[in-house]
A and B are shown apart, each in its own frame.
Chain A
Amino acid sequence: MVASFGPVALAAVIATVFGLLPLAISALLAPRRPNVVKNSPYECGVETIGPTNVQFKSHFYLYALIFVIFDVEALFLFPWAVTYTQLGLYALIEVGIFIGLLLVGYAYAWRKGALEWV
């Protein structure tokens, strides 16, 4: 079983190297001649006004909460998806009820405007 995770480990290693290697090459090769213009922070080319670390509206927390709910839902669907071909129709109906119940909550969130971007 562990051996089947070999590709996962390989992907993790490649992803890490892929991210770190350009940074390392840049740190080794790039000439460092900093000046005022180079060191200035920028955002789309225009200097920022005021502090950039701002406090976000607490409304955004709803997205996090709803994400967490559906994350846990995906967790329950994961074993079903893995063994779908062996489980058959009965499990499909069970999962249908499971998702149906959560869709009620989704509809509620939608109706209450919890998903509206403000």
Chain B
Amino acid sequence: MLIPEGALIAVTFYVLGVLAIAGGVGLILARRIFHSALFLVLTLVSVAGVFVILGADFLAAVQVLVYVGAITVLLLFGIMLTPQTVQLPDIASPGQAISGALVAAALFVVTVAVVATTAWPRAAPLPLADQPTTNTIAFNLFNTYVLPFEIASILLLVAMIGAIVIAREE
């Protein structure tokens, strides 16, 4: 291979990180809520890529299916069903911007402090990093945890019927 795999993964990680942050910033700064939802998709897809790098392939699939698929569709439908007459003001009052910046800065400091002081188990290699996690999950799901699997089906059934009953009442 022309480029060492480690370097390739590192570059991919930083590209995904920049995309995720760009999506988050765009989400906040977008004037239209619809555009905010699209920026959210960018962030969620980037995080799915990060999951792949961490060796959590099933989690990446979950991220794409549930978050990018289902959650975003619910958000977009929520936007579609809301009256579109609300126009956001250009920018909030200066006091709001200052207090928002203060809160964000405080959160940033706390997060960095936690990341810096946590003893990450860096020395231990990831147990599943080299093999796909989906197979292991499948074997557990269809052998050990059969009953929870079928109960999940009933849960989905209840959710669907409940949603129809509530939505049709109007």
The residues of A with any CB-CB pair to B shorter than 8 Å are 1-5, 8-9, 51, 53-69, 71-76, 78-80, 82-83, 86-87, 90-91, 94, 97-99, 101-102, 104-106, 108-109, 112, 114
A residues near B9, Cβ cutoff 8 Å? 2
Measured between C-beta atoms, what is the minimum distance from B5 to chain A in Å?
Answer: 7
CA of A61 to CA of B74, assembled, Å: 8
Contact: B138 with A79, CB < 8 Å?
Answer: yes
B55-77: which residues lie under 8 A (CB-CB) from chain A?
55, 57-58, 61-62, 65-66, 69-70, 73-74, 77
Contact: B149 with A94, CB < 8 Å?
Answer: yes
B residues near A80, Cβ cutoff 8 Å? 138, 141-142
CA of A9 to CA of B83, assembled, Å: 38
CA of A79 to CA of B134, assembled, Å: 6
Contact: B82 with A55, CB < 8 Å?
Answer: yes
B residues near A91, Cβ cutoff 8 Å? 142
Measured between C-beta atoms, what is the minimum distance from A115 to chain B in Å?
Answer: 10
Contact with A along B83-113 (1 / 0, CB 8 A): 1100000000000000000000000000000
Give which listed residue, B84, B130, B131, contacts A51 with CB less than 8 A.
B84
Measured between C-beta atoms, what is the minimum distance from B76 to chain A in Å?
Answer: 8
Give which listed residue, A58, A63, A94, contacts B142 with CB less than 8 A.
A94
B139-170: which residues lie under 8 A (CB-CB) from chain A?
139, 141-142, 146, 149-150, 152-154, 156-157, 159-161, 163-164, 167-168, 170
A residues near B160, Cβ cutoff 8 Å? 65-66, 69, 102, 105-106, 108-109
Contact: B81 with A104, CB < 8 Å?
Answer: no
CA of A111 to CA of B131, assembled, Å: 45
Given contacts A79-B137, A102-B156, A112-B168, contact A1 B55 (CB under 8 A): yes
Whether a CB of chain A sits under 8 angstroms from the CB of B117 is no
Closest to A99 in B: B153
Contact: B150 with A98, CB < 8 Å?
Answer: yes
Given contacts A58-B170, A80-B138, contact A101 B164 (CB under 8 A): no
Most chain A Cβ neighbours within 10 Å, of B52, B130, B142: B142
Whether a CB of chain A sits under 8 angstroms from the CB of B135 is yes
